[in-house]
Amino acid sequence: MMKPKTPLPSEFLFRKQNYFLMLVGLCVIALGFFLMTGHDANTRPDGTFDPNYWNEDIFSWRRIRLAPFLVLLGFVIEIAAILYPFDGLLKRKQNQ
């Protein structure tokens, strides 16, 4: 005779705090990529392409320093959100 299968309890892989940190990391990455956007090197401020014009805005502090930093920070937040065991910390505090 076969035993009836008991349903396994369904749990999420991560806790609520982990998912929140993942969402924050994703938003920081998206903000970094958004800050990298803009006109290319040969686009005038009015939006027309001119091969004889050089747009210095491609070397702005926002595009060269801030945006890549935010993208890297977002990936660090994502890694921390995946590896950080929020439930383990709660169990350790309760056992003390």
Residue 73 lies in a domain: yes
| Count of beta carbons in the 10 Å neighbourhood of residue 42 | 14
Number of domains composing the chain = 1
Residue 65 lies in a domain: yes
pLDDT of residue 24: 97
Q: Measured between alpha carbons, how far apart are the two ends of the chain, in Å?
A: 46
Residue 4 lies in a domain: no
Residue 84 lies in a domain: yes
Q: What pTM value is reported for the model?
A: 0.75
Q: For residue range 47-88, what is the model confidence (pLDDT) as tens digits?
A: 888 888 888 888 999 999 999 999 999 999 999 999 988 665
Q: Which of the 8 DSSP states describes residue 93?
A: H
Show the domain range for 58: 16-95
Residue 80 lies in a domain: yes
Q: Which two tokens stand for residue 79?
A: 């890694």
Cβ-in-10-Å burial (0-12, 13-18, 19+) of 4 comes to: exposed
- CB distance 74 to 32 below 8 Å: yes
Residue 38 lies in a domain: yes
